[in-house]
Structure 1
């Protein structure tokens, strides 16, 4: 049960005053699985590593590196954004988005949280302070900065001349890609009890499809901000507050006119893109983004099982259950293998054909929260302490 993303203002004091608990009993407290013994079939190599500020510490943040045209872009929570050469990790430029107060040691942190996204000539990153920044890829200078409706926890998505931002208070906003001006706002609603995190939208055929904290998936016309359809894939039920969480925090995946969406305490669901009608669903939940590739769905569920399922009906093809409750990242598909990181700083390599382990490596002592990113022949992953690694097979 991945409680690291839980955000309910006042929840602790409310529980103490009322005498109720998030958990039914001591049996609900889960233990991390021991590290499985793996006989490496190959040894992954760290091509280079570099520090990107102070990282995210123990805060939840969706910051992860982005790659374009041979350069890698990464950020830390305080406000450092850095561009490095993808081949050797050498710094190209570095900027500090923290607020200057007149005293160098007392700058207010920018609290970057959503991103990083690179598209065209800009690097985009959002913050817990409801700011979205567009930086020039050539030198890191701020091209524009816009205040949005709430915390920008998910990564910005750029499509059709718009920068789409899903804020923590349930708003989907479209900003003009060239100057950051607000084009429209769609209110997707939210629940009183939610997880810390928001779904980034997926785009196709002029529509943006995004998950919401209310258990619904919504499709919005990108040019007008008009709601096309909404479909519920998770219902708030259960005896405890945790059981009733119904967030859809994962990014939907659109393939051949089908929307695949995944809720925390709900279902893995296939929807018709045009109508939003449910085509099939499986009772599986997660907060991690998933992969759809070659008629398969690869995912990490809320208990940290790794699964491969068919896109036709969601039939399970294999399950890897030896990493339960190790707080896995979302998976990456790299060189024919699934790769995940865990909270102890290990990376695990899994054969996509049957789910058995092919390699394991200890990379960083601070651990990982966000998924690896494929950058040509390298695999990028950013640790909680801000160290950015480039891994090769």
Structure 2
């Protein structure tokens, strides 16, 4: 087989709807299995990476087409944590797909979860909350008066880094939700933490780096073209997709 040749095609989305093709979500791999939302449906599936075979499939609101596709899942220690509009937060067993717990949240808009040893971090339109891994019970909730529609928190060293999409990026204590620092920041973002810095793309056009402990800005990078993708970090380099090219940045 040639390099880059197609090995298999997984489960297909339904026929495109009135607004065009369904938007896909990022799959997650763990312990030899692919976990992903199936665009255009209310389903999440576990796939065999060698064949694309569905190992299990779970669907919320089976009879309600107006419900939302699951967000990108978080997989950790044998559990798959997923969220979806409206108000859905669920944990499934990673091996069988059996429901471990389910919670209906107060907020309609729910963003992708982040799994940590301390609990599951879930961002909603206005707030950030931490729920227990065992049964989804609420440990704390911090109202940021946000208007978040398309951001995802990052968690590192006992701190949650999260944008409110109302001109601020916050560092919150994972244990309590209390603010450690807040800096000006515009728009949606998916921050990445590495080497004592949190990297985040501001309004899709500028990469900014902040000190993890203090929030002090370390640098700002403006490309010649926009938009910028969320960053990836590896071997001392920052990688970003930028229109038809890939950028690799190193510390000057």
- Residues 60/74 of structure 1: CA separation in 2 closer, same or farther (3 Å cut): same
Distance 1:253 1:70 in 2: 24
Q: How does 1:152-163 map to 2 (within 5 A)?
A: 152=109, 154-163=111-120
Q: How does 1:275-354 map to 2 (within 5 A)?
A: 275-283=214-222, 286=227, 288-301=229-242, 304-312=243-251
Task: Check conservation: 1:115, 1:124, Cα contact below 8 A.
Answer: no
Which residues of structure 2 form unaligned runs of 5+? none
Shift of residue 156, structure 1, vs aligned partner: 1.0
1:129 is aligned, of 86, 89, 92, to 86
In the other structure, the counterpart of 1:3 is none
User: Which whole-Å deviations, capped at 9, do the CAs of 1:10-56 have from their partners, x for residues lacking one?
Assistant: xxxxxxxxxxxxxxxxxxxxxxxxxxxxxxxx741212112155398
In the other structure, the counterpart of 2:176 is 224
User: Which whole-Å deviations, capped at 9, do the CAs of 1:262-314 have from their partners, x for residues lacking one?
Assistant: 1116631111100001111123564732212222222234xx2534243425x
User: Which whole-Å deviations, capped at 9, do the CAs of 1:201-236 have from their partners, x for residues lacking one?
Assistant: 111111111222023211111111111111113xxx
- Residues 174/71 of structure 1: CA separation in 2 closer, same or farther (3 Å cut): same
User: Does residue 91 in structure 1 map to residue 54 in structure 2?
Assistant: yes
Aligned to 1:177, the other structure's residue is in SS state coil
Task: Check conservation: 1:208, 1:220, Cα contact below 8 A.
Answer: yes
Distance 2:196 2:16 in 1: 37
In the other structure, the counterpart of 2:10 is 50
User: Does residue 182 in structure 1 map to residue 123 in structure 2?
Assistant: no
TM-score, scaled relative to structure 1: 0.57
Task: Check conservation: 1:61, 1:153, Cα contact below 8 A.
Answer: no
1:202 is aligned, of 151, 154, 157, to 154
Shift of residue 176, structure 1, vs aligned partner: 0.8
In the other structure, the counterpart of 1:63 is 25
Task: Check conservation: 2:56, 2:96, Cα contact below 8 A.
Answer: yes
1:166 is aligned, of 107, 120, 123, to 123
Q: Which has the higher contact order (CA 8 A, sep 6+)?
A: 1
Distance 1:222 1:171 in 2: 14
Distance 1:203 1:83 in 2: 25
Query: Which entry has the higher C-alpha Rg, 1 or 2?
Result: 1
Shift of residue 137, structure 1, vs aligned partner: 1.5
Which residues of structure 1 form unaligned runs of 5+? 1-41, 100-106, 234-245, 314-393
- Residues 202/49 of structure 1: CA separation in 2 closer, same or farther (3 Å cut): same
Q: Which has the higher helix share?
A: 1
**RMSD over aligned Cα, in angstroms?**
2.5
TM-score, scaled relative to structure 2: 0.85
Aligned to 1:93, the other structure's residue is in SS state strand
